Amino acid sequence: MTIHSTRRHLLGALGAGSLALGAAACGSSDPFDEGGEEGGGASDGGSGAVTLAIGSQAYYSNEIIAELFAQVLEAEGFTVDRQYQIGQREVYLPELESGSLDLLPEYLGNLLQHYDSEAPSASPEEIHGALDEALPEGLRVLDFAGASDQDSYSTTSDFASTHSLTAIGDLAGVEEALKIAANSELDVRPYGPEGVKEVYGVDVTVVPVEDSGGPLTVQALLDGDVQLADIYTADPAIAENDLVVLEDPESLILPQNVVPVASEKIDETAATAIEGVIAQLSADDLVELNRQSVVDQASSADIAEGWLTEKGLL
Amino acid sequence: MTGSPFLDSLRWLGDSAHWTGPGGIPLRTLEHLGYTALGVLVAALLAVPIGLYVGHSGRGKGVAVAAAGAARALPTLGLVTLFALLVGIGLTAPLLSFVILAIPSLLAGAYSAVESAEPATVDAARAQGMTEWQILTRVELPLGMPLLVGGFRGATVQVVATAMLAAYVGSGGLGRYIFQGLGSQNYPQMIAGSLLVIALALVLDLTLLLAQRLTAPPGVRAS
């Protein structure tokens, strides 16, 4: 999640692909312009307000979720220091552990694998439980959302209807050699070729396209260079191109439901406000939020405000 | 695993399992060299004739210099992505980008090679009744050969260092190790891939430096 997003921004910066441009357009907040010195200009927001530092990955969708949290916390009277677009887990998790950051939207499976690389795929509830054990002292996860943003075996609706495909296992009946466009690391992931062979008896080979399910990956699928593509499930490109996400009844693919990871400074009032957002954030909501960023090029602050108002959270 | 990614990358390079098969180091290195050679050769077919013409005739020099300068400023990853969106994944998109990357050095090398000949020498050749073609091929080019080879040297080193981007859009080469290592946090593999690219670039640079020395005509070697 972190790496693909970094690249997506790089692409945007290089002016390639309108999708990537959309991603970059939303990532314009300057991490330095908030004067976020710990203790420095804190508690100037009225009745001794607590300053909470909210971070986000360098991934436009993650920033929108962070902004949802930021706006409900501000409505609760907290002062929020926005530290968006931080990048990789290796960078921001130590910041959370040291107390420089207080809150960041994370994804269940990837967060658990960061602390326990051997963690097997499981249901979202089980992963959430395992995270309680795995997280270091001082950090905790709040409730997780229905919305998730995870790898998928996706195909075109044409290919799916020709071969009557609804689940990954149905691919076992397809005669032609199957290729999936994905970042090359899929080759070594548990849900990669080895995993689908073992669990579903399907042979696939990875065609590396390193833009993390971005425009090039979608293009390779639409061009027919590959029959399958690994596209993140919250990507608006799935609906836009009428793609079919093949079901994964055996939970081979790690669930990546959105989950806030919080420091001790997030008290019960703050946690309740954040979980109010989480409770309403469905899979369709996340796709729609992403669509407004990528297609409509709206800023994450505007997107967040619109959604929170619509849901009665502001 | 020793805890030091650099030592681990050397260990990764020493592992015999990484030296065989379709994903092995010899094949990936050959692919990488092949992409480089193809990119530089196609670029040379375009840039060298134009550079020789510009250098010999003095015509269009402003345009050539401006075009070469502008091409240098193009970000190659952006080009690869742009071309791949137009022509699809595979080798065409990165190859086009490598050609564009290689053209400025080759163009500059070619026209400066021809220009470097003393005007008096060129006049003397003309006075002896040499045709323009003879002046170019027997006087200007031999005298400027080190500069032309220098253009190839610059282009080759740039392309070999950038050819990892072929792996970004479904092709092979040493970039496979780098991208996969990055994506799966296998940093020893990523560093090993980078070390291989660095080694290739150094070998090619030194080889072409040697070629530059050897092609210098005896009379001008001192300069």
pLDDT at position B5? 83
Chain B interface, best mutation among A113, A191, A216, by max B CB count within 10 A: A216
Provide the token pair at A303.
Answer: 């997107």
Q: Which tens digit of pLDDT belongs to each residue from A145-173?
A: 999 999 999 999 999 999 999 999 999 99
Residues A187, B78: C-beta atoms closer than 8 Å:
no
Are B55 and B140 in contact by the 8 Å Cβ rule? The answer is: yes
Pairwise CA distance, residues B51 & B45, whole Å = 11
> Do B154 and B204 contact (CB within 8 A), yes or no?
no
Among all residues of chain B, which has the CA nearest to that of A17?
B82
- Give contacts of A215 with chain B, Cβ < 8 Å: 81, 85
Determine the Cα–Cα distance for residues B177 and B190; give it in Å rounded to an integer.
6
Is residue B223 in a domain? no
Give chain B's mean pLDDT.
Answer: 93
Tell me: pLDDT of A20 over 90.
Answer: no
Interval A229-248 mean pLDDT: 96
Hey, is the C-beta of B210 within 8 angstroms of any chain A C-beta?
no
Domain that holds residue B83: 5-14+24-216
Q: How far apart are CA A12 and CA B101, in angstroms?
A: 20
Q: Which of B81, B90, B167 sits opposite A11 (nearest CB)?
A: B81
Contact (CB, 8 A) for A55 and A95? yes
pLDDT value for A40: 39
Neighbours of A179 (CB within 10 A): 18
- The neighbour count for residue A91, using CB atoms within 10 Å, is 13
Tokens of B66: 């401006």
Residue of A187, A209, A210, A222 to mutate for B, most B C-beta atoms under 10 A: A210
Of A3, A207, A216, Cβ closest to residue B81: A216
Q: Which of A10, A216, A225 sits opposite B85 (nearest CB)?
A: A216
Residues of chain A neighbouring B88 (CB-CB closer than 8 A) = 219-220, 223, 225
pLDDT, tens digit (0-9, with 9 covering 90-100), for A91-134: 899 999 999 999 999 999 999 988 988 888 889 999 999 999 99
Q: Counting one residue from A and one from B, how many pairs have CB atoms under 8 Å apart?
A: 77
B179 interfaces chain A, CB cutoff of 8 Å:
yes
Contact call for A11 and B85, based on CB within 8 A: no
- Cα-based distances in Å from A251 to A130, A189, A196: 16, 14, 11
CATH number, residue B82: 1.10.3720.10
What CA–CA distance (Å, rounded) separates A100 from A77? 20
Q: Confidence class of residue A11 from pLDDT cuts 50, 70 and 90? A: very low
Test A219 with B82 for CB contact under 8 angstroms: no
Task: Report residue B2's pLDDT band, with 50, 70 and 90 as the boundaries.
Answer: low
Cα–Cα distance measured from residue B150 to residue B93, given in angstroms and rounded to the nearest whole number: 26
According to the model, what pLDDT value does residue A28 have? 46
Evaluate whether residue B19 is within a structural domain: no
Chain A residues whose beta carbon lies within 8 Å of the beta carbon of residue B78 = 11, 14-16
Q: What is the pLDDT of residues B56-106, one digit of tens each?
A: 998 988 998 898 888 888 999 999 999 999 999 999 999 999 999 999 999
A223 contact residues in B (CB cutoff 8 A) = 88-89
Tell me how far apart the alpha carbons of residues A105 and A85 are, in angstroms, rounded to a whole number: 12
Q: At how many degrees (to 10) do helices A108-115 and A124-134 cross?
A: 40
Q: What is the pLDDT of residue A13?
A: 40
Cα–Cα–Cα angle for B94, B95, B101, rounded to 5 degrees: 90
**In sequence order, which ranges of B58-140 are alpha helices (DSSP H)?**
61-72, 76-87, 92-115, 119-127, 132-134
The CA-based angle A157-A158-A159, given to 5 degrees, is 95
Flag whether residue A262 sits within 8 Å of chain B, measured between CB atoms: no
| Average predicted confidence (pLDDT) for chain A | 86
Residues 222-261 of A with CB under 8 A from B: 223, 225
Radius of gyration (C-alpha) of chain B in whole angstroms: 21
CB contact under 8 A, A225 and B179: no
How far is the C-alpha of A260 from the C-alpha of A278, rounded, in Å? 8
Q: So what's the pLDDT on residue A150?
A: 94
In three-state secondary structure terms, A141 is strand
Average pLDDT over residues A52-67: 95
Q: What's the pLDDT at A43? A: 40
Q: Could you tell me if A220 lies within 8 Å of chain B, comparing CB atoms?
A: yes
Interchain contact A192–B (C-beta under 8 A): no
Measured CA to CA in angstroms, residue B105 lies from B54, B66, B151 at distances of: 14, 13, 5
**Which residues of B fall within a CB distance of 8 Å from A14?**
75, 77-78, 81
Looking at chain A, which residue has its C-alpha nearest residue B79?
A16
The answer on pLDDT for A260 being more than 90 is: yes
Q: Which segment of A35-44, A282-291, B103-112, B156-165 scores lowest on mean pLDDT?
A: A35-44
Q: Write the Ramachandran bin of B175: left for phi over 0, alpha for psi from -120 to 50, otherwise beta.
A: alpha
Q: Which residue has the higher pLDDT, A22 or B206?
A: B206
Residue B186 pLDDT exceeds 80: yes
| Strand ranges inside chain B, DSSP E | none
Query: Taking 80 as the threshold, does the pLDDT of residue A47 lie above it?
Result: no
Please list every residue in chain A whose beta carbon sits closer than 8 Å to the beta carbon of residue B170.
Answer: 181, 207-209, 220, 225
Cα–Cα distance for residue pair B187/B7, rounded to 1 Å? 11
Q: What is the pLDDT of residues A261-290, one digit of tens each?
A: 999 999 999 999 999 999 999 999 999 999
Query: Could you tell me the CA-to-CA distances from B212 to B112, B174, B222 in Å, in that order?
Result: 14, 27, 13
CATH topology (fold) of A2-149+256-310: D-Maltodextrin-Binding Protein; domain 2 (3.40.190)
Give the model's pLDDT for residue A2: 45
For the A154-245 domain, the top CATH level (class) is alpha beta
Q: Is residue A17's pLDDT more than 80?
A: no
User: Between these two residues, B4 and A15, which has the higher pLDDT value?
Assistant: B4
Q: Which two tokens stand for residue B43?
A: 């670029």
Q: What residues does each domain of chain A span? A: 2-149+256-310, 154-245
Inform me whether the pLDDT recorded for B143 exceeds 70: yes
> What's the distance, CA A46 to chain centroid?
34
Q: What is the pLDDT of residue B221?
A: 54
Confidence of residue A48 (pLDDT cuts 50, 70, 90): low
User: Judging by beta carbons within 10 Å of its beta carbon (0-12, 13-18, 19+), is residue A34 exposed, middle or buried?
Assistant: middle
Residue of A17 and A279 predicted with greater confidence? A279
Segment B144-153 shows an average pLDDT of: 96
**How many structural domains comprise chain B?**
1
Q: Do domains A2-149+256-310 and A154-245 have the same CATH topology?
A: yes
Cβ-proximal residues to A200 (8 Å cutoff; 6+ apart), any chain: A168, A169, A171, A172, A250, A252
Q: Place A189 in a pLDDT band, splitting at 50, 70 and 90.
A: confident
Show contacts of A111-120: CB within 8 Å, 24+ apart: A111/A141, A111/A259, A111/A261, A113/A254, A114/A89, A120/A190
Looking at the domain assignment, is residue B134 inside a domain? yes
